[in-house]
A and B are shown apart, each in its own frame.
Chain A
C-alpha cells in the first residue's frame, strides 16, 4: 500500500467511524439508561433518512431536512417509548419482540410510502466538493471530513452534558443504579422518555448525515442495526468512550480489509467482534457483570 493510499484509507476509516458513532451512540444511550435493546433503532435511522430527504426535496434545504429528521424521529421514539415500551418495562423478551415487531411493520410501511428506490441527498455546497490535502497531493471529499468533525463535536457535547450538567449526573447515576435514583425522588420515567427521544432523534439525524455519505434505500435499517450492534458489543454497552473507540476500530478494520482483500471484508468485522467477546466479554469499556 502506497503512502497516499494509506492516508486515504485511514481517512475513509475515520470518517466511516464517525458515521457509525453517530448511529450507535443513540443505541448505547438507550441501553445504558433503560436497559432496552432497541431493535427498531435501524428503522428510526431509515425513517429519519427518508423523512429528511422528503423535507429537503420540498424545501430545497438540506439543513432543514436534517433538523426535521432529528425532531420527528425523536417524537417517534417518544411515542414508541410511552405507547409501547413503558407498559412492558423490564420484561426483556417482550421488549425484544415488540421492537422487532415495530421494525418489521415500519420497514413495510416505509416501503409502501417511499418505494424501493434509492435516494441520494444533495448536501449544501459549502460542505461538498473535494479538498486537496497538502504534501500528499491527494483529493478528499469535503463532506466526509464534515461528518468526522460533526461526530467529534457531537461526542464532545454529549461528554460535556454527561460530565458537567445536572441532567448528565442524573443520567450517569441512572446508568449505575436506577432504583437508588428513583428512591431519591428523581422522576425516572421522565428521564427514560427523554433519553429514548434523544437516542431516537440521533438515529434519525444519522439517517440524513449517513444518507448523504452513502444513500438511503430499503434494507438500510437492518444494515445499520447490525453496525450499531457490532459497535456497542465491541465497545461495551452503555459506554460513551467505548462507543467512540469501537466505532473507530470497526470502521478502520472494515476499510483496511476492503482495500487489502475486498472479498473477505464482510467477515473481518465479525472476527473483530469474536476476538473481543472471547478476550473481554463485557466489551472494551464495559464493566463486568
Chain B
C-alpha cells in the first residue's frame, strides 16, 4: 500500500516542521482545522448531527427506545455509545468486528458523556425496575482524516442536544419532549511531535505522533475524562498545559455543539 510507504518520509517531514513551530497544513500548534456541525442531518433518527473537523466527517444518530433497566440500577436509564469505523471512511478499515482502536473511540466518547452526566439517567426511568428509556448514540465515521475522537464527541453531543424523546410513538406520554441534556462535554485531542504538542492532529500527524492525549472538559470547568493513547509519553507539566488548552478550545467548540454552525 502506498500509504505505508509514504508514511516514513512524511513522518520525518512533519517532525522537522514541528521543530520549527510549523505544521504541514500551515496551522499553528494551537489551531483547529475548520469545524462545523449540521444538526438534524438524518430525520429517521430521534436526534442527529453531522460534524466536520477539516476533512474528517462523522455522523451521529440518536435512537431512544423503551427497554428494561439493568438489575443493579433499577432507577436509571440505559446509555449505549457505539462507534462504527466503516470501511468507507479509510482504505485501511476492514469490514468485520471492530478493531481495538475503534472500540477505544467509542469508549472514550461514552466515558465523557457518562462522567459529565450530560444526561441525567434517572430521568430516563419510566417504571423503576421495569421500564426505562434506552438511549443509543450511534456514531458513523464517514471520512477519516485524523482526530476521530473529537469529531465523534462533537457529533454525539450535538445529536443528544437536539434529540426528542418519542413518547407518543411508544405510548409512554402524551407529547414528545426534548431529551434533557444538562452538560456539554467536549473532547480535545493533542499529539506530541518532538517537543511540540499540537491540537487537532491531521491523519498524517497522528501517524507521526509520539503520543496522543485527549482531555474532555465540560462547561462548569471540570475535566470529565482523559485518555492517553499511542506510543509516547507526557510529563505532568505537559499535561497541565494541555488541560488549560483543552478548556480554551472546549469553550469554543461547545457553542457549535449546542447550536450547530461553523467555527
Q: Do A and B bind each other?
A: no
Q: Which residues of B contact A (CB under 8 A)?
A: none
